[in-house]
Structures are given as structure tokens and as C-alpha cells.
Chain A
Amino acid sequence: MTIRMMRAQGGGFAALLLMLLLWAFALPLHAAERPAGSSAADQAERQVERPLNNAPVWRAVRSGEAHTTNVRGPEAGVLIQSEGNTWRQLRNGPITQYGGWLLILVPSAIVLFWLVKGTIRLHQPRTGRLMKRFSAFERFIHWGTAITFLVLAVTGLAILFGKHVLLPIFGHGVLAALLDVGKTVHNYVGPAFGVFVVLMILTFLRDNVWQAIDAVWIRRAGGVLDGSHVPSGRFNFGEKTWFWIGVTFLGLAVVISGLILDFPNIGEWTRSDMQTANIVHAIGAILLLGLSFGHIYMGTLGVEGAYESMKTGYVDETWAKEHHEIWYQDIKAGKSGHP
């Protein structure tokens, strides 16, 4: 259940993620602030000064200001919006390209890691005595989040990369049919994922608060380099990083931006808002997916016994002792196991 892929990067990776998202929020998608004078005042003045030169009108055309029209509709009064081009360049450019490479390279690196290091087996034989690690509610939240996340990941990837990957193989008709269903599923499953993310944050918040013991884990890089055992509470620092950066920060960023895109009728979202939301959504989702590969690996192939814990809710005592020693001792001492 630990995220070994992230161990080496640690805080630097977190800082990078934060910077990327802040950068996304600061994108110049919103029209530049307009001077206080307004084109109307300029225009009236110009008509007196130089009646045959009406440059203020042409500046107003290009400014993205809303003017008068009898047609009703979102931003119908805006003659030209320039931000769409910025959005197009970002979406079709770096997001598709770097995002695509990230989603190819991360799983490749994980497979390579697995081929070299192999699955982390239990060192001692199983005792046969089981300890309860996850309650039924916790497992419901986990699998609810996991399943909705995977559905959203597949449909979301199809929307961004389908044109490049599916279209050459299946052709226009099949792609359109898939995306028609995919987009509808994405739009309806999205809010459910949002509910699960919030519930997951509330459920696992307490056990993911950083503790002094995490310093040991960070200092020894989770034991991934020397293969040593690092004691930890119910969750180790790798899992906590996944919780804070993955589930909480990226999860909420994706959910909030997704809700803006999903409910254009609530609030007067402009195209600029939608473009910004789309950029945040795409970057957040790609990073979250990249991190989730690490999480899925550690929860299945990477660590023997990890998948059982989330499937059944129980772990063998040997597993508890070898992976979460402090939690094991707390339980054995009759404590709750929570920090």
C-alpha cells in the first residue's frame, strides 16, 4: 500500500505539483483588465476630435467586452473572444503531449521497477492470526472511489486522446459512438466520484495526519534503497503523501473543476472560466492518474498481502508487523490503532 514510486521524489514532487496547479490557475485565460476609460467614452471623444477615424470601435471589437445584441445566449454580446486560442494551444499542445508521455512513462517505469525489484514478499511465515485493518465502511468508500475513478479515467482519456489513439484504429463512427456514451457516463459518474472523494478525505483524515515517526520514513526513503524495515503507524509517509497530494489536493482540484464543467447552467460561467476549469481538470486528472498507477501497483503487484487487506479488511499479523509495526503494537496493546 505504500507508494514507492514517490519515495525518492518526496517533497520536491509535491512542490512541483503545487506549482503546476498554481500555474494553471494563473493562466492568462481571462481577458486582460480593460482600462477605466472604456471604449464608449473613447469613441464619443474620438467622434468629436476626428470624426472619420473610429479606431476605438475596432479596439472594442477585439477587446472581448460584451456589447449590445438582440440575440440571447451565453456571452452573445462578445464579438471576439481571444482566450479560446490560448486554451486550444495548451490543450492540444503540452497537455496532450506531455500528459500522453507521462501516462506512458510512469507505467513503464513501474513495470521496470517490478521486473528489477519484484514483489515485496513477507519475510516471516504467516501466523494465520488475522487483524482487522479496514472496516466495511472504509472498504466501501475505497472501492466506490476506485471504481468511479477508473470509469472516469477511461472515459476522460478517451476524450483527450481518443482522436489520436482510437480514431486511427476504429474510425470515426466507432469513436463517436464510444465518446457519446463515454461523455455521458463521465458527466454522471463525476459527481458520484466527488461525493466519494469527500467521504474518503473525512474517513481517512485522522490516520493521515503527519507524525514525528514519518521523519524516519523520509530519512530512510521508506527503506526502498537499502531494503530495510521502517516502522510506521496505520499509514506510512508514502500512503500519507498519496492521501494529501493525490486524494485531497488533486482529487478536490479535479472534482471542483469538473463540477464547473459539468454544470455550466449553475452560475454565469464564461468561456474563460470553462477553459481554465478544463485546463485544471486535465492537468489534475493526468497527475492524479499518474500517481494512482503507483498506488495501484503497491496495492496489488508490489506488496504481498496488500490487496487482501482492502479486499477482506483483514491482514495477517506477520504482514502488520512487517509493514506497519507501530500500528501492530498499538493494536496488540489494546489501543484503537489510530494516532
Chain B
Amino acid sequence: MGRMKFLCDAERCIECNGCVTACKNEHEVPWGVNRRRVVTMNDGVPGERSISVACMHCSDAPCMAVCPTDCFYKTEDGVVLHDKDKCIGCGYCFFACPFGAPQFPNGQAAFGARGKMDKCTFCAGGPEETGSQAEYDKYGSNRLAQGKLPLCAEMCSTKALLAGDANVVADIFRERVLRRGTGAEVWGWDAAYGGGEQKRERKREGQS
């Protein structure tokens, strides 16, 4: 069995929010709930980088560890899913999660009435019968069961967001890194998008 992982290549992400839109549309998630988001570090500053983040389907998932009703479970593919019928909306998973993945339909409501938690399912549905309407209504579509990968990654225009078996994703990323160069150059925008043209342009600007 595979070990499903997301990887966002920050050298490629262009902050188009296509992944966010694809996710919202595919799963018809309620207003206010965003299973995925793109964060731009130091927006507008030279060297800015954007990273698309959602549930990272941790091996040792903090949400799973703190849930009072033990509503989380891990599939054979290493995807962390939860049972909304058991969720009491206490918000503990949100306190514990490093990535801010758990979302609540009512938001930060009075008397802690957040509603049932919703998060990225790696497009793997939930505990309801696979492909059923109940599964779709609660967790969104189950693409993994159809042999498809998460839509956010499939839709990614620059192929920055990779999703799939950890070994395959790692291989793809390793190959990219090798092609970009070695050492410090691994982390360069130029290395990712071909520095020549841009460098020439910068030189021209510098001369003028």
C-alpha cells in the first residue's frame, strides 16, 4: 500500500489559488470552510514564496491524538480521515494541528457551537459507503476510490503541488532538484524557471 503525501514546491507555486478553487468546487464545501489555502510569505518583497497548505495527513497526527471522541482514523494509504457523526465540534483538533487544517462551518461561534469539523480528505471521502450520496454530502467526492489523485494537485497549473504516493512524489521532486542544480542553487527561483532570460533583463535594467 502507498503512503499518500502532499508536497508543495515553493519554487513553482505562483499563488493562483487554483488548488483552493478546485477543492471548493469538487467537494462543494460550505461557505467559510477552506480545506486548502495558499499562504504567501512576505508578499511583495523580493524573494517571496507561496505555499499551498491543507491537511498534511501526518504519520503521528496531533488531531487524532487529542480528539476526545477518537473520531479520526487512518486509511491503508496513510490518509487521515474523520467520522463527522462522532465529531462534537470541540475544536481540539484545530488547537493541535500545526497547519490550521481543521475547519468549522460555524466558525468561532458562541458557546463553542462550531459545528462538525471539516478538513481535507485527500479526496478519499469518509467512513460512509464509498461513492454514496451520504459520503459526498459529508466529506465530498472520493476520487481516490476512482483511481484519481486529489484534484488540487491535478489542477495545479505549474505542477507545484504534488500529491500521491510518498515515494513517487519524492522521486519527482528529487529529479527536479537535480535538474535545478546543486547546493544553494537548489532553492533559487532562477533555478526553477530558467535564470538566463531574467538575469539578462535585470542586467539591462541595471545598465539603463
Verify A69–B107 contact, CB threshold 8 A. Answer: no
In the assembled complex, A43 has its CB within 8 A of some CB on chain B: yes
- Interface flags for B17-42 (1: CB within 8 Å of A; 0: not) read 10010000000000010100111111
CB distance from B26 to the nearest CB of A (A): 16
CB distance from B16 to the nearest CB of A (A): 10
Segment among B44-52, B132-140, B141-149, B167-175 that sits at the interface with chain A: B44-52
Q: B residues within 8 Å of A by Cβ? A: 10, 17, 20, 32, 34, 37-43, 45-49, 51, 53, 62, 65-71, 83, 85-92, 94-100, 103, 107-114, 184-185, 187-188, 190-191
What 9 A-B pairs have minimum CB-CB distances, sorted nearest first? A52-B188, A176-B86, A71-B37, A68-B43, A264-B108, A47-B46, A47-B47, A40-B42, A84-B96
Q: Using a CB-CB cutoff of 8 Å, which residues 145-178 of chain A contact chain B?
A: 158-160, 162-163, 167, 172-173, 175-176
Known A39-B41, A69-B37, A162-B68: A50·B91 in contact at CB below 8 Å: no
Q: What residues of chain B lie closer than 8 Å to A162, measured between beta carbons?
A: 68-69
Verify B100–A75 contact, CB threshold 8 A. Answer: yes
Q: Using a CB-CB cutoff of 8 Å, which residues 65-105 of chain A contact chain B?
A: 67-82, 84-85, 87-88, 91-92
CB distance from A49 to the nearest CB of B (A): 11
Verify B91–A43 contact, CB threshold 8 A. Answer: no
Q: For B37, give the chain A residue with the smallest CB separation.
A: A71
In the assembled complex, A236 has its CB within 8 A of some CB on chain B: no
Verify A79–B51 contact, CB threshold 8 A. Answer: yes
A158 to B38, CA, bound (A): 37
Verify A67–B43 contact, CB threshold 8 A. Answer: yes
Known A87-B96, A159-B90, A172-B70: A67·B39 in contact at CB below 8 Å: yes
Instruction: Report the number of A-B residue pairs with Cβ-Cβ less than 8 Å.
Output: 182
A172 to B95, CA, bound (A): 22
Known A82-B98, A278-B95: A44·B38 in contact at CB below 8 Å: no
Verify B97–A84 contact, CB threshold 8 A. Answer: yes
- Which listed residue, B42, B53, B97, touches A43 by the CB 8 Å rule? B42
Interchain residue pairs with CB less than 8 A apart (25): A43-B46, A43-B47, A46-B47, A48-B46, A54-B187, A60-B41, A67-B41, A69-B39, A74-B107, A76-B100, A80-B98, A91-B66, A92-B66, A159-B68, A160-B68, A162-B68, A179-B88, A180-B69, A180-B88, A183-B88, A187-B112, A261-B112, A262-B111, A264-B108, A274-B95
A53 to B38, CA, bound (A): 22
Verify B41–A264 contact, CB threshold 8 A. Answer: no
In the assembled complex, A290 has its CB within 8 A of some CB on chain B: no
Q: What residues of chain A lie closer than 8 Å to B86, measured between beta carbons?
A: 172-173, 175-176
Known A53-B184, A176-B71: A69·B94 in contact at CB below 8 Å: no
Q: What residues of chain B lie closer than 8 Å to A264, measured between beta carbons?
A: 91, 108-109, 112, 114
From DSSP, what is the main secondary structure of chain A's interface residues? helix
- Which listed residue, B41, B88, B91, B94, touches A79 by the CB 8 Å rule? B41
Verify A188–B111 contact, CB threshold 8 A. Answer: yes
Q: For A61, give the chain B residue with the smallest CB separation.
A: B41
Which of B45, B70, B110 has the most CB atoms of chain A within a 10 A radius of its CB? B45
Q: For B188, give the chain A residue with the smallest CB separation.
A: A52
From DSSP, what is the main secondary structure of chain B's interface residues? loop
Known A176-B86, A187-B111, A275-B95: A51·B100 in contact at CB below 8 Å: no
A271 to B95, CA, bound (A): 5
In the assembled complex, A57 has its CB within 8 A of some CB on chain B: yes
Q: What residues of chain A lie closer than 8 Å to B107, measured between beta carbons?
A: 73-74, 265
A183 to B49, CA, bound (A): 41
Verify B39–A77 contact, CB threshold 8 A. Answer: yes
Q: What residues of chain A lie closer than 8 Å to B68, measured between beta carbons?
A: 158-160, 162-163, 179, 183
In the assembled complex, A56 has its CB within 8 A of some CB on chain B: yes
CB distance from A294 to the nearest CB of B (A): 28
In the assembled complex, A263 has its CB within 8 A of some CB on chain B: yes
Known A51-B188, A263-B111: A88·B65 in contact at CB below 8 Å: yes
Verify B62–A44 contact, CB threshold 8 A. Answer: no
Verify A44–B46 contact, CB threshold 8 A. Answer: yes
Q: Using a CB-CB cutoff of 8 Å, which residues 259-317 of chain A contact chain B?
A: 261-266, 269, 271, 274-275, 278
A108 to B114, CA, bound (A): 38
Q: For B186, give the chain A residue with the smallest CB separation.
A: A52
Q: What residues of chain B lie closer than 8 Å to A84, measured between beta carbons?
A: 62, 95-98
CB distance from A38 to the nearest CB of B (A): 8
Q: What residues of chain A lie closer than 8 Å to B65, measured between beta carbons?
A: 88, 92
Known A81-B98, A160-B68: A52·B191 in contact at CB below 8 Å: yes
A88 to B168, CA, bound (A): 32
CB distance from B175 to the nearest CB of A (A): 19
Q: What residues of chain B lie closer than 8 Å to A77, measured between beta carbons?
A: 39
A172 to B87, CA, bound (A): 11
Verify B40–A68 contact, CB threshold 8 A. Answer: yes
Q: What residues of chain A lie closer than 8 Å to B47, measured between beta carbons?
A: 43-44, 46-47, 51, 54, 56-57
